[in-house]
C-alpha cells in the first residue's frame, strides 16, 4: 500500500504531499529525482523530522494555530503529518478534530489556504460528474460528504463545513490506517441559511438560501449518480447533514450504494458500546435499564434504535425494547398524546403523562441511563444529576454533545454531584478530575472508536451494502476491549492512546461480519485478521 517515488521529479515531487519526504530524501534520491539543491544539505530521519516539527507545534500559542500548522503540514508531507498524529493521538486528535475543528469551521473563511477536497456547488448542477473528474486521484474508495447544515453542535456553517470531512478522513487514516490516497472530502455547497455567513464578505460558499425540497433532492441524486459513474465502488459517508435530511438520505441510498451516516450509525455504535461496557462491569442487563435521551435528533434516535435492536438478544421483542427508551426533545417528553412527532420519534412515544422538563422526566421514569445529544450546554444540572444518582447506584451519564462548549455537563460536575458513582463518557474530551480523593480519567465516547474501523473493514471486504448489524458487531467488539482496571479508573472505552490497535481489532470483527453475511465482493482470505492488518497503511516513506 505504500507509494513509490518514481512517478514525479523535481519541484513537482516536492510539492506532492503523498510523495514528498522533505529533508529525508537521501543524497542518491536527490541526484536521481532532480531535486539536488532544492533542499538544504541535511539528510534527516523521519524521527528527526517529527521532533523538529513537534517542537514548533508546541511553541504555537493556540489550538487553532496548531490546527492551521498541521493542516499545512498535511499539504506538504503526509507521512510526517500522520506519523505525528499516530504517535500521540491523545494530544493531536483534539487539535485536528473535535473540539478544535469546530472553531476551524467557524473561521474557515479566514484560515482557508489550499483546496483539500471538492466543493460541489449548486452552480454545478448538470455537470457534477465533470467536477468530480477534476480530482487528481482516480482510485477513490472513501468519500466523506457534508452539506454543512449541522456542523457538530454549531448549526449551519454552509461550505465552511469542509473542515469536518477533511478532519474525519484524517482520522480514518490515523486511527485505522485507511490509505490517505483513497480518501476524498466533499462539501455540497447548496447555500446556507446562516444569515451572518450570507453577509460575511469572507464567506467562502454560495451566499444564498439553501436549496430545499425537490431541488435539493435532485441535486443529491445527481451527486450520487456522478459518484457511481466517476468513482464506482466508492463508499459514501454522509456527515453532519441536518436531522430533516439525514435519515431520509441514508434510507434512500443505503441499499443502492455502499453508504452510511456516521452521526446516526457510528454514534449509535459508540453509545451502545459504552452502555454494554458499563453494564458488563456492574453485572446488569441491557434490558433492565431505563434509558432517557435528552435531544431526539439523528444521534439520540440512532442510539435508541441500535440499543433497542441490541436488547433483542435479551429475549425482548422490538416493541418491548423500545419501551425501555424514552426521549426528551425541545418540547418535553416524547409520549403518545403528542401530535407533533416525526415517524422516527413516534416509535418511542409511549403512554405517559406529559412532562416539560428533564428533571421531572428523570424522576418520574426512574431513568438509570441519561444520554445527552441536545447541543444544550449545561442542561444536565446538579438537580438532574443528583436525581440520576437517587434512581440507581451507578447511573450512566453520557453528555455526548460536541464541541466542549455544547456539552450537557462536565466530567467534574458528573463525578462531584454523584459522589463518584457515575459511569461517565462525553463526546469531547475532559481532563482527569479528583472527587473524594479518587482521581477519575473521563472516557471519551466519540465515534472515532467506530468509523475508522468500519472504514478499514469496508476497504477490506468491499461490501455491497453496510447494514446496521455491521455497527452492532463493531459495538460489541469495542465493549469487550476495556479491562477491569481501566473501568475502575473511569473508562468504558479503550484508552484513546490505544486507538490504533482497538480500531484494527474492531475492523477485523466487522470484516468477518461482511464475509459471514455474504456481503463481501472480494474472495475471503485464509486469515482475515492478518489480511486486515496487512492493508492498514503505515506512515513510512
- Complex with ligand NAD: residue 155 or 207, whichever CB lies closer: 155
Q: Least distance to ligand NAD from the beta carbon of 326, Å? A: 12
- Complex with ligand NAD: residue 84 or 496, whichever CB lies closer: 496
Q: Helix, strand or coil for residue 290? A: coil
Q: Least distance to ligand NAD from the beta carbon of 34, Å? A: 46
HSE (side-chain half, CA atoms, 13 Å) at 417? 20
- Complex with ligand NAD: residue 78 or 329, whichever CB lies closer: 329
Applying CB under 6 A, among 194, 447, 502, 536 the residue interacting with ligand NAD is: 447
338-344's contacts with Cβ under 8 Å and 24+ in sequence apart are 344/247, 344/301
- Complex with ligand NAD: residue 175 or 520, whichever CB lies closer: 175
Q: Helix, strand or coil for residue 143? A: strand
- Complex with ligand NAD: residue 13 or 162, whichever CB lies closer: 162
Applying CB under 6 A, among 103, 175, 230, 299 the residue interacting with ligand NAD is: 299
Stretch that binds ligand NAD, among 192-200, 326-334, 385-393, 466-474 (CB under 6 A): 326-334
Residue 41: DSSP 8-state? S
Stretch that binds ligand NAD, among 77-85, 123-131, 288-296, 469-477 (CB under 6 A): 288-296
**C-alpha span between 429 and 438 (Å, rounded):** 19
The 3-class secondary structure across 231-262, one letter per residue, is CCCCEEEECCCCHHHHHHHHHHHCCCCCEEEH
Give the Å distances, CA to CA, from 400 to 41, 387, 477.
50, 19, 21
- Complex with ligand NAD: residue 177 or 372, whichever CB lies closer: 372
Show contacts with ligand NAD in window 361-380 (CB under 6 A).
373-376
**C-alpha span between 446 and 398 (Å, rounded):** 11
Per the CB < 8 A criterion, the answer to whether 379 and 358 are in contact is yes
> Does the protein bind ligand NAD through residue 297 (CB under 6 A)?
yes
Q: Least distance to ligand NAD from the beta carbon of 529, Å? A: 27
Question: Dmax over Cα atoms in the chain, in whole Å?
Answer: 79
> Does the protein bind ligand NAD through residue 295 (CB under 6 A)?
yes
Q: Chain-centre distance of CA 441, in angstroms?
A: 21
Applying CB under 6 A, among 298, 418, 477, 536 the residue interacting with ligand NAD is: 298
Per the CB < 8 A criterion, the answer to whether 442 and 426 are in contact is yes
Show contacts with ligand NAD in window 150-189 (CB under 6 A).
150, 152-153
Applying CB under 6 A, among 94, 117, 165, 445 the residue interacting with ligand NAD is: 445
Instruction: Tell me how many residues contact ligand NAD (CB under 6 A).
Output: 29
**C-alpha span between 433 and 424 (Å, rounded):** 12
Using CA atoms of 87, 234, 467, 523 in order, give the dihedral in degrees to the nearest 10.
-90
Q: Is 120 exposed, middle or buried (0-12, 13-18, 19+ CB in 10 A)?
A: buried
Q: Helix, strand or coil for residue 137? A: coil
**C-alpha span between 519 and 177 (Å, rounded):** 22
> Does the protein bind ligand NAD through residue 473 (CB under 6 A)?
no
Give me the sheet containing 183-189, strands edge to edge: 118-121, 183-189, 142-146, 235-238, 259-261
- Complex with ligand NAD: residue 132 or 422, whichever CB lies closer: 422
Applying CB under 6 A, among 74, 146, 194, 243 the residue interacting with ligand NAD is: 243
Stretch that binds ligand NAD, among 40-48, 63-71, 251-259, 291-299 (CB under 6 A): 291-299
Per the CB < 8 A criterion, the answer to whether 150 and 220 are in contact is no
Q: Least distance to ligand NAD from the beta carbon of 237, Å? A: 13
| Overall size of the chain counted in residues | 541
Residue-wise DSSP of 168-198: HHHHIIIII---GGGEEEEEEE-----HHHH
> Residue 480: which of 455, 442, 449 has the closest Cα?
449
Can you list the alpha helix ranges (DSSP code H) found in 282-376? 298-311, 318-322, 343-346, 358-365
Beta bridge partner(s), residue 349: none
- Complex with ligand NAD: residue 375 or 418, whichever CB lies closer: 375
Our answer to whether residue 127 is catalytic in this structure is no
The H or E element containing residue 30 is: helix 27-32
Among the listed residues 168, 345, 347, 406, the single catalytic one is 168
Q: Least distance to ligand NAD from the beta carbon of 342, Å? A: 9
Applying CB under 6 A, among 180, 427, 452, 490 the residue interacting with ligand NAD is: 427
Stretch that binds ligand NAD, among 64-72, 218-226, 318-326, 394-402 (CB under 6 A): 394-402
Q: Least distance to ligand NAD from the beta carbon of 374, Å? A: 4
Our answer to whether residue 378 is catalytic in this structure is no
Among the listed residues 67, 82, 92, 97, the single catalytic one is 97
Q: Least distance to ligand NAD from the beta carbon of 38, Å? A: 43
* Interface mask toward ligand NAD for 244-283; x: CB under 6 A: -------------------x---x--x-------------
Q: Least distance to ligand NAD from the beta carbon of 400, Å? A: 4
- Complex with ligand NAD: residue 13 or 362, whichever CB lies closer: 362
The residues of the shown chain that bind ligand NAD, judged by CB under 6 A, are 150, 152-153, 243, 263, 267, 270, 294-300, 328-330, 373-376, 400-402, 406, 427, 445-447
Catalytic residue numbers read: 97, 168
Amino acid at each position: 500500500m505504500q507509494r513509490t517515488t518514481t512517478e514525479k521529479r523535481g519541484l513537482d515531487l516536492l510539492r506532492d504531499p503523498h510523495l514528498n519526504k522533505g529533508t529525508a530524501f537521501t543524497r542518491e534520491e536527490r541526484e536521481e529525482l532532480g531535486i539536488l539543491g532544492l533542499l538544504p544539505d541535511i539528510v534527516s530521519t523521519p524521527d528527526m523530522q517529527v521532533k523538529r516539527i513537534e517542537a514548533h507545534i508546541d511553541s504555537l500559542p493556540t489550538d487553532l494555530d496548531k490546527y492551521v500548522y498541521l493542516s499545512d503540514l498535511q499539504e506538504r508531507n503526509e507521512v510526517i503529518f500522520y506519523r505525528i498524529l499516530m504517535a500521540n493521538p491523545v494530544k493531536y486528535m483534539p487539535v485536528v478534530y473535535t473540539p478544535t475543528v469546530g472553531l476551524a469551521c467557524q473561521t474557515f473563511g479566514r484560515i482557508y489556504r489550499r483546496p483539500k477536497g471538492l466543493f460541489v456547488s449548486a452552480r454545478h448542477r448538470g455537470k457534477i460528474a465533470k467536477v468530480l473528474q477534476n480530482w487528481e486521484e482516480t482510485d477513490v474508495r472513501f468519500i466523506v460528504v457534508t452539506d454543512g447544515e449541522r456542523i457538530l453542535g454549531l448549526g449551519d456553517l454552509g461550505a465552511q463545513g469542509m473542515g469536518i470531512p477533511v478532519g474525519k478522513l484524517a482520522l480514518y487514516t490515523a486511527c485505522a490506517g485507511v490509505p490517505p490516497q483513497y480518501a476524498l472530502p466533499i462539501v455540497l455547497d447548496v447555500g446556507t441559511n446562516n444569515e451572518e455567513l450570507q453577509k460575511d464578505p469572507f464567506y467562502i460558499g454560495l451566499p444564498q438560501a439553501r436549496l430545499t425540497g425537490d431541488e435539493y433532492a435532485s441535486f443529491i441524486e445527481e451527486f450520487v449518480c456522478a459518484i457511481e459513474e466517476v468513482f464506482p465502488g466508492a463508499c459514501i459517508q454522509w456527515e453532519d447533514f441536518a436531522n430533516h435530511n439525514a435519515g431520509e438520505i441514508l434510507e434512500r441510498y443505503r441499499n443502492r450504494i455502499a453508504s452510511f451516516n456516521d452521526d446516526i450509525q457510528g454514534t449509535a455504535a459508540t453509545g451502545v458500546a459504552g452502555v454494554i461496557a458499563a453494564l458488563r462491569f456492574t453485572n446488569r442487563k441491557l434490558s433492565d435499564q431505563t434509558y432517557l435521551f435528552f435531544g431526539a435528533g439523528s444521534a439520540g434516535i440512532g442510539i435508541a434504535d441500535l440499543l433497542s435492536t441490541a436488547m433483542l438478544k435479551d429475549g425482548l421483542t422490538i416493541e418491548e425494547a423500545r419501551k425501555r427508551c424514552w426521549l426528551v426533545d425541545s418540547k418535553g417528553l416524547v409520549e403518545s398524546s403528542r401530535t407533533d412527532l416525526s415517524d422516527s420519534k413516534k416509535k418511542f412515544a409511549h403512554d405517559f403523562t406529559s412532562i416539560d422538563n428533564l428533571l421531572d422526566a428523570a424522576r418520574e421514569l426512574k431513568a438509570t441511563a441519561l444520554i445527552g445529544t441536545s447541543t444544550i450546554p449545561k442542561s444536565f444540572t446538579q438537580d438532574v444529576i443528583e436525581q440520576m444518582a437517587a434512581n440507581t447506584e451507578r447511573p450512566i451519564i453520557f453528555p455526548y454533545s460536541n464541541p466542549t462548549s455544547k456539552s450537557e455537563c462536565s466530567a467534574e460536575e458528573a463525578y462531584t454531584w454523584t459522589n463518584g458513582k457515575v459511569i461517565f463518557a462525553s463526546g469531547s474530551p475532559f481532563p482527569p478530575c479528583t472527587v473524594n480523593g479518587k482521581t477519575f480519567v473521563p472516557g471519551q465516547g466519540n465515534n472515532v472508536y467506530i468509523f475508522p474501523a468500519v472504514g478499514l473493514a469496508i476497504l477490506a471486504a468491499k461490501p455491497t451494502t453496510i447494514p446496521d448489524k455491521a455497527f452492532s458487531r463493531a459495538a460489541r467488539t469495542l465493549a469487550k476491549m476495556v479491562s477491569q482496571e481501566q473501568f475502575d479508573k473511569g473508562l468504558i472505552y479503550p484508552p484513546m492512546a490505544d486507538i490504533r490497535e482497538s480500531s484494527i481489532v474492531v475492523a477485523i470483527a466487522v470484516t468477518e461480519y461482511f464475509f459471514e453475511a455474504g456481503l463481501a465482493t472480494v474472495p475471503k482470505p485464509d486469515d482475515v485478521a492478518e489480511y486486515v492488518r496487512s492493508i492498514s497503511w503505515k506512515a513510512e516513506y
